Structure 1
């Protein structure tokens, strides 16, 4: 069965119905901002809707038929009325530059060529640099005919307020844990589904990637290094080098989860929830020796570092700083509790 015809996850049924109703009533906005956590399925939803809009013969459920000439072009990635705008692959910043928006808005780029509507996917829209955002705002203020601008973002708050105000916003929330587990258990062994969902912070689509054996082994090694730092048994610069080799974004995601669990275990020996339930014993032993106030401060520092890594910061120096701070925090906390 093709991706177009696959059944939507149940938590996407309501936003899908809203999109179909707007199309049926001919009340689609000229700009749509679709947001939500990574791994919740917002991109899959938007891709499906774009194909349905461009299909020449959508079925009774509003889905693309998968057989018409438009669907054939879509499947080949060659449909001229589906336009994608994203970061410059040659740039290290990960930003969407102004040149991409100027190209989009120039000439006939916003005018449909084969069907009655052109769909533009701007993803991730929260990576528009300031100049690109200003250029896009001018287009939003003067919408073009039958073009639907679709902005996708994990962090819509990073978009300028005038852009957000000119888009119809649709937020996809994390599903309830029971609903997500029911869906995952059709795709993962029962005993693994709950752990995968916790490691993905409740995002079901992301959970499918969390049980890769190499990824789990890397996580275990880095947690051992994290704990060894806290015990004064590991050199901060050596551990920071291992963090950088793994990738700062993934490492800081894991570290934020470890710290959350340490704070939970410091407050209660039996917290109602852990992000890393398979590592409870190792984390509990460390939690008893941490100063909670200092641990909270360091947790905020890690969250700030996750944002900084998306910019032009020297990642190696940032990770080295974090490793030194963590060792000092943990060793001083251990000394105080001795």
Structure 2
């Protein structure tokens, strides 16, 4: 969690100023929908906004002081006017259930306790199930006094249009590569920053964890398995089991990157960019035998599978299906 005094990355400065201008003019909305790719800093921005709104003595830039009694409670995770709503820990589904929204909207749950404004963070809002979204809509249609509802989403299009239309929307885009690299080079060795950013698909905050040695080794092993499948040297069910053990979400993210690079290399032996530049040689040998139309179709299947994995899909069966389809596709190339 971001602390009140953590400096914001450069690409978040303009959105922060916009929010502070609205605050100074007493024009903050009753509901804010903050969206953008994973790892771009949405949650960092909202955490600092929430802390600043609850702080008793924000500084001239509107940031929380980190020292007042309210900030002390925030740091301890015990402030009653910062409410977090998300999926139930340990539940099979990653959905936010209707019970969580009913609890939020019941009685005095939306009324400030210690300070002038209560802040509610609904994260990830695009995981509200249909019933929960409908329950939240009633509150959005009849906002409660000094409460700010903050919805965070990677995929705002999954929210009902009725929810989106009742929120002020603020989208955080990926920063330009040069800006992201300049920020990363203060945190990673120069030689590693570019690879880390490519592996994170341009998301700087995610890039900081992409160079973990164990993670890189696991990626190399699974790419070798992916290529072995294409050559008929690996059984699909065996490789799918290894994928599932690693975690379907991470594996499908990697696979989407491998496929994008294969399609780039199929179109040109010297593409302007690759998501996996350190694996160019391993991918280049496979790219020549990939049918571009079938490759694009399979990439669509992988992207759809990534979305299904966020729900209650049987990931083992899903990955087995993809492994079989990939071997057949490669064999026909």
Q: Which residue of 1 aligns with 2:134?
A: 134
- Give, in whole Å, the separation in 2 of the partners of 1:95 and 1:311: 7
Deviations 1:196-222 (A, max 9, x none): 000000000000000000000000000
Structure 1 stretches of 4+ with a deviation exceeding 6 A read none
- Give, in whole Å, the separation in 1 of the partners of 2:100 and 2:317: 32
Deviations 1:74-125 (A, max 9, x none): 0000000000000011311101000000000000000001000000000000
How many residue pairs match? The answer is: 332
The answer to whether the aligner puts 1:196 opposite 2:196 as a matched pair is yes
Q: Which residue of 1 aligns with 2:186?
A: 186
Spell out the pairing of 1:167-316 with structure 2 (5 A cutoff). 167-316=167-316
CA RMSD of aligned residues (A): 0.7
On the 8 A contact 2:85/2:121 being kept in 1, the answer is yes
The 3-state SS of whatever aligns with 1:143 is coil
Spell out the pairing of 1:27-176 with structure 2 (5 A cutoff). 27-176=27-176
- Give, in whole Å, the separation in 2 of the partners of 1:6 and 1:112: 26
The 3-state SS of whatever aligns with 2:62 is coil
The Cα of 1:313 is off from its aligned counterpart by 1.7
- Give, in whole Å, the separation in 1 of the partners of 2:202 and 2:312: 30
- Give, in whole Å, the separation in 1 of the partners of 2:114 and 2:313: 44
On the 8 A contact 2:289/2:330 being kept in 1, the answer is yes
- Give, in whole Å, the separation in 2 of the partners of 1:132 and 1:112: 23
- Give, in whole Å, the separation in 1 of the partners of 2:26 and 2:3: 26
The Cα of 1:331 is off from its aligned counterpart by 1.2
For normalisation by structure 2, the TM-score amounts to 0.99
On the 8 A contact 2:94/2:312 being kept in 1, the answer is no
The Cα of 1:312 is off from its aligned counterpart by 2.0
For normalisation by structure 1, the TM-score amounts to 0.97
On the 8 A contact 2:98/2:135 being kept in 1, the answer is yes
The 3-state SS of whatever aligns with 2:66 is coil
- Give, in whole Å, the separation in 2 of the partners of 1:17 and 1:119: 19
The 3-state SS of whatever aligns with 2:84 is strand
The 3-state SS of whatever aligns with 1:8 is coil
The answer to whether the aligner puts 1:327 opposite 2:324 as a matched pair is no
- Give, in whole Å, the separation in 2 of the partners of 1:67 and 1:215: 38
The Cα of 1:3 is off from its aligned counterpart by 2.5
Q: Which residue of 1 aligns with 2:6?
A: 6
The 3-state SS of whatever aligns with 1:87 is coil
The unaligned stretches of length 5 or more in structure 2 are none
The Cα of 1:314 is off from its aligned counterpart by 1.3
Q: Which moved more, 1:214-223 or 1:86-95?
A: 86-95
- Give, in whole Å, the separation in 2 of the partners of 1:90 and 1:273: 39
The unaligned stretches of length 5 or more in structure 1 are 334-338
Deviations 1:242-278 (A, max 9, x none): 0000000000000000000000000001100100000
- Give, in whole Å, the separation in 2 of the partners of 1:248 and 1:313: 11
The Cα of 1:157 is off from its aligned counterpart by 0.3
